[in-house]
Amino acid sequence: METKEYIENRINTKIREYEGLSRKYHKAHIGIQIACFCCLFGCIVLNVLYLILPIVWFVLSSVVLVVASLFLLFFDVLNEFSNKASSYKYKASMLSYEKNLYLGKSNDFENFSYRCEHFM
C-alpha cells in the first residue's frame, strides 16, 4: 500500500471520525451545562416571584428545578463528556501528526524541516 493510499484510506478517515466524535461529545457537554444553568436560573426567578406572590407552587417548582439541575450535573460528570471530547481531539491531533510524518517521509523530509522550524 502506498503512502498516499494509506493516508487517504486510513488516517484521514480516522481523523474525521475522531473530530466528529469530539464535536459530538463537546456539544453534549455544552448542552447539558446550558440546561443545568437554565434550571438554576429558573429556580432563582421562581424564588424571587415567591417573595412577591407567595404561592406554594413556586416553591415546589423551584425544588423540582434544583433536583433537575443536580441530575443534569451528575449525569454530565458521571458520563465524562468533557474528558471524552478532549481525548478524541487529542487522538485526532496525534493522527494528524502521524500523517505529516508520513508526508515528510514520502518527500524525503525536504519541506518538513522547514515546517517544523516555522511552527517552533
Q: What is the pLDDT along the chain (120 residues), one digit of tens a residue?
A: 566 676 777 777 888 888 888 888 888 888 888 988 888 888 888 888 888 888 888 888 888 888 888 888 888 888 888 888 888 888 888 888 877 777 777 666 656 555 555 454
* Residues 11, 82: Cα–Cα separation, whole Å: 24
> The pTM is what?
0.71
Q: Where are the domains of the chain?
A: 3-119
Report whether 101 contacts 11 (CB < 8 A).
no
Q: Where are the alpha helices (DSSP H) in the chain?
A: 3-6, 12-52, 56-79, 81-106, 112-119
Please report how many Cα atoms fall inside a 13 Å half-sphere around the Cα of residue 15, on the Cβ side: 15
Polymer length of the chain: 120
